């Protein structure tokens, strides 16, 4: 399978995502190059996944590349989650408290302007 022709960059200058697969021709190494990391991470559409698997069954070079992607992903997943520094944690807590306080003040202001109905 070959991808659709590339599209023009967006107005903000960033490249668009790769075009979706459009037909049933066999993928070349060039066709799958941008899909290998997504395949290793399990992020492809069903059609892309099947097409890449078909290519990998006959291409040792791409098979080695995807094995390397999988090793890198496994290493990244084995790392402990990052812990914020005490200073960052304190800043985040202050920001959160300020945001909650602001929302509470806004809610109280709305309550003061809302007409009160007597309870039945």
Mean pLDDT for all residues in the chain:
79
**Could you tell me the pTM of the whole model?**
0.49
What domains sit in the chain, N to C, each tagged with a CATH number? 1-84 (1.10.10)
Q: Which two tokens stand for residue 72?
A: 């890198």
pLDDT of 92 over the 50 cut: yes
Position 88 confidence tier, pLDDT thresholds 50, 70, 90 = very high
The single-letter DSSP state of residue 35 is G
Q: What is the pLDDT of residue 89?
A: 93
Interatomic CA distance for residues 67 and 37, integer angstroms: 10
In whole angstroms, give the CA distance from residue 44 to residue 120. 59
């Amino acid at each position: 399978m070959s991808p659709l022709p590339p599209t023009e960059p967006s107005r903000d200058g960033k490249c668009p995502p790769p075009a979706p697969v459009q037909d049933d021709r066999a993928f070349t190494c060039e066709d799958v190059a941008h899909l290998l990391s997504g395949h290793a991470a399990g992020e492809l559409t069903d059609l892309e996944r099947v097409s890449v698997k078909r290519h990998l069954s006959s291409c040792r070079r791409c098979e080695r590349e995807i094995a390397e992607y999988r090793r890198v992903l496994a290493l990244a997943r084995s790392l402990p989650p990052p812990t914020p520094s005490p200073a960052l944690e304190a800043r985040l807590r202050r920001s959160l408290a300020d945001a909650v306080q602001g929302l509470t003040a806004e809610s109280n202001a709305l309550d003061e302007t809302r007409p009160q109905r007597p309870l039945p």
